[in-house]
Structure 1
Amino acid sequence: MRLLDGLLGNASETDTNAIQLELAQLLAPGEEVRKSYVVIRDLMVFTTKRLLLIDKQGVTGKKREYMSIPYRSIERYSTETTGHFDLDAELKIWVRGMAEPISKTFRDNTLISDVGQTLSEYAL
């Protein structure tokens, strides 16, 4: 089911222990992964110090871009839930110093609410 969710653009929560091990060389001493979500191949990782957005690129996904956003740099965020005819839920994060917000699309109101709640917990 997870593969089908990924193909449809549905996000799903991932195993934080596995992500902690995968990102061990990238994390600061004492930094811990608290929550992580996968949307298709990309990851949103909430740590004790920052939000990491990981964009897996190429056919194999081996090439990756890591965007590190300290929580203090998040100015605001918005969530838009799905409707009867609009099946996309959208998350926008405004980061200090960036003209445009970072935008992520979800297909699940429950999970976008969970991501929004996690953002509230760490960014406010």
Structure 2
Amino acid sequence: MVRTAQRRDRSSARQGLRLVAAGRRWDAVRVPTRQGEALVDALGTRCGDVIRDGPGYLFLITPGTGDLITTPDVTVYGRSRHVLIPAGDHTAPPGPHWVRPAFHLALEEVQ
């Protein structure tokens, strides 16, 4: 188990991933892949920060507003939760990557 965790930690470091606390400067909302793709397309240039990872899309939103979301299949990460944030220049797979560049202060937290 320890070796697996160490390999995961090394892989995360290579991809520039950082574990960052949610609920301070932003909340993160995870939506399934299909809905995430549709939402990014529908919002177009009005879309804020979005991270793509294995289970879906993470939208970074104003802190505290995630509490208002009660949609099935949507997970909100607010206070006391953490999210893997990719490096600012990581915009393609493998691993979590930015679909929309970071406009929030998420990058300040990982640099």
Same fold judged by TM-score > 0.5? no
Structure 1 or 2: more strand by fraction = 1
Question: Taking structure 1 as the reference length, what is the TM-score of the superposition?
Answer: 0.27
Question: Taking structure 2 as the reference length, what is the TM-score of the superposition?
Answer: 0.28
Structure 1 or 2: more helix by fraction = 2
